[in-house]
Structure 1
Amino acid sequence: MSKLSKIFEWRKFSMPLVGVVFHVLKLLPFRKKDLWVFGCWTGKKYDDNAKFLFEHVNKNHPEIRCVWLTRNPAVVKRVNALGYEAYMWNSFKGIAVALRCGVAIMTNGLEDFGLFPLVGGAEIVSLWHGVGGFKKIYNENYHGFKLKLKKTVDLFFNWVYRDLSLATSEYTAERTMEQFGVRRESIVITGQPRNDLFYEKMDKSSLISNMDMSLYSKVVLYMPTYRVSPNTHRDTVKDILQELSSSSDFLQFLKRENILFLVKLHPLTKFKMDVEDTHFQVLADKNVKSVQHLLMAADCLVTDYSSCCVDFALLKRPIVFFVPDEEDYLSYSSLNDAYARVVKDKAFTAQELICNIAAGSQKVTDQLNDLFEDRSITGTCYSENMYQAICGWCKGKK
């Protein structure tokens, strides 16, 4: 059973008990609005939108006590070494903080705060782990009676329950309403805190460890969506990479143009791959400070159905969609209307990928920004936007 399957099995099995505990905790009278807890990726990582907001609030708003909750001892050491407060979620201090916090900020779901999240009664803020994109999620995949049944169950308890949700545009706000059954007034257009990094000046050589990018004229980053086809029972991304890495035309193109083709696999990907060609490299997680650092290092992004293109578009650099498995993918997965609206010029073969990378068009980039980035937040500090939105929400609840 995969890690993802185990998570969903736990959700189904534990939901009645967790739901009761969550609602009972709403009766606690002593939650503190100036105590905020943060978590992400089911407690396993220190990363994503929560990390960037956590550090921003710590640095700029000392009146707020920020605490990171995790199930990973290495994360506790890392956060403490940065001078911030962090605890294991099942430790005495972790439990005490969860029971007293007035605001709980998550990226993936309530599991970010523990298998039995003790944050019921706090204001739950969802930053999510990729606002926008093309894939239909949660309620978007239900219809008719099944949708009504799901919404009824969600009234009791929902692992992705939230009081306040982040959006980046009116389009993403509409999507959030449909996906999670929330009201428009509970959604704030702030931008994603993790993308504040894009506006910082950084030496390109510092973005990826153990790699001298100055040796290459251009860095092309390939970030594919994780998928195993139920039709072929094969790891589609592995097949795509094997075909690309064995294409003499593609490898010659990289060498001729002195391009570094970097591959960053999805965290759920199981296989490992080594390519002997120095122009074609597959990154290990240890080489990546964060996905945002990686995006900043790239001159061009190649992706498929991933929401990473929404983030990368803010850098105003070329984006290429490489979807050799589109027909198969659409037979078992659902995409929203944004895919048809934006992804028109796409590559299906290695030769088409070469042509699209060489063209360097930013047409798709502009279309993504028009759809996913509200003009009111362009050039602002997304973390500060979110901080102010949370404070305003809490004041409105008094």
Structure 2
Amino acid sequence: MLEWRKFSLPFVCVVFHLLRLHPFRTKRVWLFACWIGKKYDDNSKFLFEHVCKNHPEIRCVWITRNPEVCGHVKSLGYECYTSTSLKGVFWMLRGGVAIMTNGIDDFSPIPLIGGAKIIALWHGVGGFKKIYNENYLGRSLVIKKLVDWFYSWVYRDFSLATSEYTAQRTMEQFNVKRSSIMITGQPRNDLFRIGMNPKEVFKGVLDKSFKKIVLYMPTYRVNPQNGQDVVRKILEDLTVNETFLNYLKQNGVLFLVKLHPLTKFKMDTAILNLKILGDKDVLSVQHLLMAADCLVTDYSSCCVDYALLKRPIVFFVPDEEKYLSYSSLNDAYSKVVQEKAQNVEELVALLLTGNISQANLLNEIFEDPSIAGTCYSENTYQKICEKCKVVIG
């Protein structure tokens, strides 16, 4: 994907800017896509379904590169086209609002959405890792901003945030103005208000009941110094650690591992109390979070979502020192992570405490009081209408 982006950049840039002159778009047609056109998931999915069900005055069209996704979305009763189909191309040229999670190539390798108002819901607002412009300084930052001024794969007219802190970070990350940022909450977290029976979440996946489900969601990371997949090494160590295995067995705990979508390795285990899931094994990450009794993570933004449930969160960072030698974290990490496990024994000790103090700290930073307890999808819909001057009726 990165090679394609570099190779196609001049051509895509010209097409994108020429289409901004295209006068035949309507703001009552909203285009939705996510995850480079491969999935039907995340913030785009939850907002798409909310608008379809509650605002029929807006024509919602899902665009995907994946024929299987297209068939699935249509089977749910929604309008969906592949990006290479005639109807897909037509609606990309017609839609006045385009909503994405990863970049404008969520819609197609050559995005035909120039001239539409582009809304970046993103695929995880908040978290601890520095991204995009946060990792540049001095002359490099000036050059980066200049290149982005001509064209950026993460271009947006408006961005979603969950608090003033995340709004300020978005300004720094993507060089956007505060007036272009909407504090609405993430639509995908509306699922936490609705609720769902955990047995339904794990139907067909688990064949045994457990007293407690601990969900482990590590962030994707490969050490650039030696090429080692850090998460694989952590999992291999866990599967042979007697202290950890005894904790699981004696307490009736299922340690459920959900790997990052970019993770390339596959790993099977015969341990009854430990199961590793892929994307196809679950309805969505939000369903997993909702069903888990406790979350174990590291530098991932998933903790921001999970904190809304006000359940225990354990930060397991055995590689912290090495990780900081090739990556960087923002100031929220030191503010929130008051307790952390740097070895398996400390992990077990923190799992036994069931402390929710770190969830409370996360909510103080990442959840604005003005949106607490509200419908994030409706907040987002209203803000898009306001910012994009969508005329209804």
Which of 106, 124, 138 aligns to 2:132? It is: 138
Q: Which residue of 1 aligns with 2:302?
A: 308
**Does the CA contact (< 8 Å) of 2:28 and 2:390 recur in 1?**
no
**Does the CA contact (< 8 Å) of 1:208 and 1:293 recur in 2?**
no
Q: Which residue of 1 aligns with 2:2?
A: 8
**Cα deviation, residue 214, structure 1:** 7.0
Spell out the pairing of 1:2-41 with structure 2 (5 A cutoff): 7-41=1-35
Aligned equivalents of 1:149 and 1:57: distance in 2?
39
Provide structure 1 residue ranges, at least 5 long, that are not aligned to the other structure: 1-6
With 230-239 and 181-190 compared, the bigger mean Cα shift is at: 230-239
Aligned equivalents of 1:382 and 1:217: distance in 2?
32
Aligned equivalents of 2:278 and 2:157: distance in 1?
36
Instruction: Give the letter aligned to residue 26 of structure 1.
Output: R
Q: Which residue of 2 aligns with 1:120?
A: 114
Q: Which residue of 2 aligns with 1:4?
A: none
Which of 58, 61, 82 aligns to 1:67? It is: 61
**Does the CA contact (< 8 Å) of 2:307 and 2:363 recur in 1?**
yes
Q: List per-residue Cα deviations over 1:100-152 (Å, max 9, x = no partner).
A: 11000000001111111010000000000000000001000011011111111
Q: Which residue of 1 aligns with 2:167?
A: 173
1:256 and 2:245 are equivalent in the alignment: no
Going from structure 1 to structure 2, the CA distance change for 1:191 and 1:326 (only over 3 Å counts) comes to same
Instruction: Tell me the TM-score normalized by structure 2.
Output: 0.98
**Cα deviation, residue 212, structure 1:** 4.5
**Cα deviation, residue 284, structure 1:** 2.8
**Does the CA contact (< 8 Å) of 1:213 and 1:219 recur in 2?**
no
Which of 359, 362, 371 aligns to 2:356? It is: 362
Which of 99, 106, 113 aligns to 2:93? It is: 99
Paired residue secondary structure (2:57): coil
1:371 and 2:365 are equivalent in the alignment: yes
Instruction: Give the letter aligned to residue 133 of structure 1.
Output: G
**Does the CA contact (< 8 Å) of 2:197 and 2:291 recur in 1?**
no
Aligned length: 392
**Does the CA contact (< 8 Å) of 1:38 and 1:106 recur in 2?**
yes
Give the ranges of 4+ consecutive aligned residues of structure 1 lying more than 4 Å apart after TM superposition.
none
Q: List per-residue Cα deviations over 1:313-372 (Å, max 9, x = no partner).
A: 000000000000011111001111111111121001111000000011111000000000
Instruction: Give the letter aligned to residue 75 of structure 2.
Output: A
Provide structure 2 residue ranges, at least 5 long, that are not aligned to the other structure: none
Instruction: Give the letter aligned to residue 42 of structure 1.
Output: I
Spell out the pairing of 1:82-231 with structure 2 (5 A cutoff): 82-212=76-206, 215-231=209-225
Which of 304, 328, 334 aligns to 2:322? It is: 328
**Does the CA contact (< 8 Å) of 2:222 and 2:230 recur in 1?**
yes
**Does the CA contact (< 8 Å) of 1:223 and 1:301 recur in 2?**
yes
Aligned equivalents of 1:243 and 1:272: distance in 2?
15
**Cα deviation, residue 36, structure 1:** 0.5
Paired residue secondary structure (1:37): strand
Instruction: Give the alignment's Cα RMSD to 1 decimal.
Output: 1.3
**Does the CA contact (< 8 Å) of 2:213 and 2:293 recur in 1?**
yes
Aligned equivalents of 2:338 and 2:40: distance in 1?
36
1:295 and 2:281 are equivalent in the alignment: no
